[in-house]
């Protein structure tokens, strides 16, 4: 077995494993209501629920005190995006130097990319417009979400598991490398602007629309806890209304999926690795949305029955 084949299998296997893990978690959650009630006190069941839930969906979970030791504040979500802005900003800077100043990547980065992609570095490697655009859009997305966490969202005293926290930090590091690694598989030749194609325009248009949708959803959620002056009036959970909330319980999760699909379009729609990333995002966000949807329906008797959890009219 060659080193390059191990690298290829490592990159794709990682995202395939994550996608499969969250698919199984989603299925397990869907069948859990049909299990005998005695399983609700089973240690494995409680640990599973503790690992997949966070924020408001975690507050009603009956847990032993020792499990609460691993809780960290949900408001620490901003750490994820701060790491992403710094790390992916660095990768973008290195790629700009490669594209316009013809500077090689640092040896440590080259070694990681060789392993992840299974495609060794060549001196004739041509900068790819698709890769540059996805890096730029991803940095914009991370910066917007950081600003929303710091200046828009109103976090309660909800918690996330330490495992979720560490996973979230590592996720954005690996994702940035996955974006940069897509450059090895690009087929664009010539100057960057000459590589511009219709799928770049389509992907950017979808990215902007989905980003606006997500931002509007975050604003509507924040307004549930603030007054007209913008001051926080309550940390209680309320039923969201308006915008895409009229169709789904979690339009911000649906928008997240659309954002990743848009990045796949910018890459030409032919990257198997990136579609595995999209598949992971789909199952991850579907699980989070279903947990919120179930909470709303159980807590509020008047909750609109026509709303789906995640995807309008479908799921």
pLDDT mean across residues, the chain: 90
Residue 261 CB coordination number (10 Å)? 20
Residue 269 clears pLDDT 60, i.e. is over it: yes
Q: Strand, helix or coil at 313?
A: coil
Bridge partners (DSSP) of residue 299 are none
Q: Torsion over CA of 17, 18, 20 and 25, rounded to 10 degrees?
A: 140
Distances (CA, A) of 54 to 49, 192, 208, 262: 9, 43, 28, 27
pTM for this prediction? 0.93
pLDDT of residue 285: 98
Average pLDDT over residues 108-131: 84
Average pLDDT over residues 249-278: 95
157: confidence class by pLDDT, cuts 50, 70, 90: confident
Nearest to 178 by CA among 93, 105, 272, 108: 272
């Amino acid at each position: 077995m060659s080193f390059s084949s191990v690298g290829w299998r490592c990159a794709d296997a990682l995202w395939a494993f994550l996608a499969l893990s969250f698919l199984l978690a989603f299925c397990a959650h869907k069948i859990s209501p049909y299990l005998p009630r005695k399983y609700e006190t089973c240690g494995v069941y409680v640990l599973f629920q503790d690992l997949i839930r966070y924020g408001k969906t975690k507050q009603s979970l009956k847990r032993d005190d020792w499990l609460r030791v691993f809780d960290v504040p949900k408001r620490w979500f901003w750490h994820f995006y701060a790491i992403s802005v710094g790390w992916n900003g660095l990768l973008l800077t290195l790629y700009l130097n490669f594209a316009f100043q013809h500077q090689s990547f640092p040896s440590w980065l080259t070694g990681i990319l060789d392993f992840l992609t299974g495609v060794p570095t060549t001196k004739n490697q041509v900068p790819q417009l698709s890769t540059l655009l996805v890096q730029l859009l991803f940095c914009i997305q991370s910066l917007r979400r950081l600003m929303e966490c710091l200046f828009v969202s109103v976090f309660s005293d909800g918690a996330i598991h330490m495992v979720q926290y560490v996973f979230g930090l590592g996720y954005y590091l690996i994702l940035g490398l996955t974006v940069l690694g897509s450059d090895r598989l690009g087929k664009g030749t010539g100057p960057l602007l000459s590589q511009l194609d219709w799928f770049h325009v389509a992907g950017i248009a979808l990215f902007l629309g989905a980003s606006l949708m997500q931002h509007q959803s975050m604003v509507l959620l924040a307004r549930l806890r603030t007054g007209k002056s913008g001051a926080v009036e309550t940390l209680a959970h309320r039923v969201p209304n308006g915008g895409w909330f009229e169709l789904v319980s979690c339009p911000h999760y649906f928008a997240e999926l659309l954002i990743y699909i848009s990045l796949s379009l910018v890459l030409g729609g032919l990257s198997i690795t990136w579609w595995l990333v999209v598949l992971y995002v789909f199952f991850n966000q579907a699980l989070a949305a279903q947990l919120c949807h179930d909470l709303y329906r159980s807590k509020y008797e008047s909750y609109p029955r026509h709303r789906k959890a995640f995807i309008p009219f479908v799921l």
